[in-house]
């Protein structure tokens, strides 16, 4: 980074590096498909993320090399070094390591790329944190058996994980297996927001209106909430119907061996838990002793507030937590699903877990947090994941006030740091006081050209991170064992169904420039200023 331009001098704020102790990890967070490009380099195979983006035209005018980290990774590492980060969370592309997804397709060129990336990360004084799978299984496996709808995925994932442990385990000491299994199940098999892009064959808007009308329930103004809200994408209609042209493109082929469509999210969640658990078992039995690392699962959570202070809504808030965070955290901690899931999931839809296999398969909790919502009870007969949880979600309270004081460009992020604090305390109180790393937290702006001053002057993002770090500081005071914080994202990238329409980076990427110029934003300078004040030995 050059000297800070006068117009980009960041405010100091009221949170300081010394508040977190010497061993606390700070870094940027990314994922392979969203930044790497180089889709035909190193013998890389096609992933389901490639198919999802190509068929939906999400590259727009920029193409797959819009960020091109594969070409410019050394520059990106230097930016992180200059900011002062001491860690970097990234993901490995399964199809760059194994182009077909099978161990027989082992690809040394892809392995060598990640070896050099990790070498550069460590040389820059940073601790690498690697995620094995971030929304991008190989397309060949989807063609063969629909990935997480069939048991074959478990052994294939473990074969891939073992190669990564063998090749990178001496240098990578922090691993996570799968990113956001909840969102893979919900966004991938109900809302079609992420790969594989399957969409429930239902119009939940209409279903919600019919049930509300029948029950006589009404809400003030146009604040009707949504039983099937968007998650990590722009606030589009909650309708999940096959009448949507995009849904038709991604409707699965008829396959008599698949379970009922309504059961798919639960099946996907189940096989992700199995794949995770078996990979952890493999790591502990063969590599943990010699490599000396830790392993966990990336979980995503929101905090839920009762829309009105009634017992029904308080119960709905707990149910919403159980159907999101608890769906995966309860099995890891207790070996079984939350009681709310046993009680409310449609009979026969919830696969039985092997407690001995799943329980205890984590050394730390990896948490992704962005926002919070109000919730209200939504009584109905169930029948699929959306209806089973019996919850209506709102971003405004009965008075019409938005939760939080800022809203991101996509409309789904409302800045509510209290929610992060509450989730952290909830993890401590309900799951045995685990070690926690916040692997994603961030705020999106529109895709502004460099000529627009606000493209780099991202004050909203700066204060978003500042205020969430205050929440982390408060959690530490409450003796929550938070050990790291990672900004999503290190750089602007392809943001799921939003394509390049939203920018989350603390570093601006000029997608039209031939060298994909990286330009630090105000938030980058703030992090640099914040991290420069390193704590003393006595602050550890």
Of residues 184, 153, 161, the one with CA closest to residue 368: 184
Cα–Cα distance measured from residue 176 to residue 332, given in angstroms and rounded to the nearest whole number: 13
- 3 state DSSP class of 355: helix
d(CA 122, CA 120): 5
b/e code 207-239 from CB counts within 10 Å (16+ = b): bbeebbeeeeeebeeeebbbbbbbbbbbeeebb
Please confirm, yes or no, whether 3 is among the known catalytic residues. no
CA distance 211 to 430: 33
Count, in order, helices (H) and strands (E) of the chain: 20, 13
Among residues 167, 262, 288, 440, which one is catalytic?
A: 440
Q: Which of 36, 180, 193, 495 is catalytic?
A: 180
- DSSP secondary structure, 466-505, as one string: HHHHHHHHHHHHTT--EEEEEEE-SB----GGGTTSEE--
373: enclosing H helix or E strand:
strand 364-377
Is residue 210 flagged as an active site residue? Answer: no
Determine the Cα–Cα distance for residues 461 and 506; give it in Å rounded to an integer.
Answer: 8
Give the H/E segment covering residue 187. helix 181-189
Residue whose tokens read 């990113």: 179
Q: What are the φ/ψ torsions at residue 503 (nearest 5 degrees)?
A: -120, 120
Query: Mind telling me the catalytic residues?
Result: 180, 440
């Amino acid at each position: 980074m050059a000297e800070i331009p006068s117009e980009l001098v960041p405010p100091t704020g009221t949170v300081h590096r010394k508040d977190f102790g010497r061993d606390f990890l700070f870094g940027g967070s990314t994922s392979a498909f969203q930044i790497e490009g180089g889709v035909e380099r190193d013998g890389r195979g096609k992933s389901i993320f490639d198919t999802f983006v190509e068929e939906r035209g999400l590259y727009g005018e920029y193409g797959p090399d819009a960020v091109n980290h594969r070409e410019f990774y050394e520059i990106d590492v230097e930016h992180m070094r200059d900011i002062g980060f001491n860690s970097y969370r990234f993901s490995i592309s399964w199809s760059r390591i194994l182009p077909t997804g099978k161990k027989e397709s082992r690809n040394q060129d892809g392995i060598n790329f990640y070896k050099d990336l990790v070498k550069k990360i460590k040389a820059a004084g940073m601790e690498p944190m690697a995620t094995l799978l971030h929304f991008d299984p190989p397309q060949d496996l989807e063609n063969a058996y629909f990935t997480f709808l069939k048991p074959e995925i478990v052994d294939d994932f473990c074969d891939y994980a073992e190669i990564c442990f063998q090749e990178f385990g001496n240098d990578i000491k922090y691993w996570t297996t799968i990113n956001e299994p909840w969102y893979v199940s919900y966004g991938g098999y109900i809302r079609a927001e992420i790969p594989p892009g399957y969409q429930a064959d239902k119009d939940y808007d209409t279903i919600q209106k019919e049930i509300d009308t029948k029950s006589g329930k009404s809400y003030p103004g146009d604040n009707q909430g949504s039983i099937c809200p968007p998650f990590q994408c722009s606030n589009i209609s909650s309708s999940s119907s096959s009448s949507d042209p995009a849904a038709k493109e991604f409707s699965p082929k008829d396959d008599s061996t698949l379970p009922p469509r309504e059961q798919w999210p639960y099946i996907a969640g189940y096989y992700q838990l199995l794949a995770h658990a078996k990979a952890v078992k493999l790591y502990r039995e063969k590599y943990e002793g010699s490599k000396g690392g830790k392993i966990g699962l990336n979980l995503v959570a929101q905090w839920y507030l009762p829309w009105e202070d009634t017992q029904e809504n308080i119960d709905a808030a707990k149910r919403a937590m159980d159907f999101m965070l608890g769906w995966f955290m309860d099995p890891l901690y207790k070996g079984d699903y939350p009681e709310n899931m046993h009680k409310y999931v449609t009979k026969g839809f919830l696969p039985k877990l092997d407690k001995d296999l799943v329980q205890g398969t984590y050394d730390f909790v990896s948490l992704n947090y962005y926002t919070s919502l109000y919730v209200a009870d939504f009584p109905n007969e169930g029948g699929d994941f959306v209806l089973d949880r019996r919850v209506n979600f709102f971003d405004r309270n009965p008075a019409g006030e938005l939760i939080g004081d800022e809203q991101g460009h996509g409309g789904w992020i409302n800045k509510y740091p209290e929610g992060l604090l509450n989730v952290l305390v909830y993890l401590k109180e309900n799951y045995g006081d685990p070690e926690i790393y916040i692997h994603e937290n961030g705020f999106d702006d529109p895709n502004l050209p460099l000529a627009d001053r606000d493209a780099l002057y991202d004050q909203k993002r700066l204060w978003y991170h500042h205020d969430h770090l205050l929440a982390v500081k408060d959690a530490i005071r409450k003796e929550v064992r938070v050990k790291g914080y990672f900004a999503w994202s290190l750089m602007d990238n392809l943001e799921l169904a939003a394509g390049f329409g939203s920018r989350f980076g603390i570093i601006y990427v000029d997608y039209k420039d031939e060298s994909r110029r990286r330009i630090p934003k105000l938030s980058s300078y703030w992090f640099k200023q914040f991290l420069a004040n390193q704590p003393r030995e006595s602050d550890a």
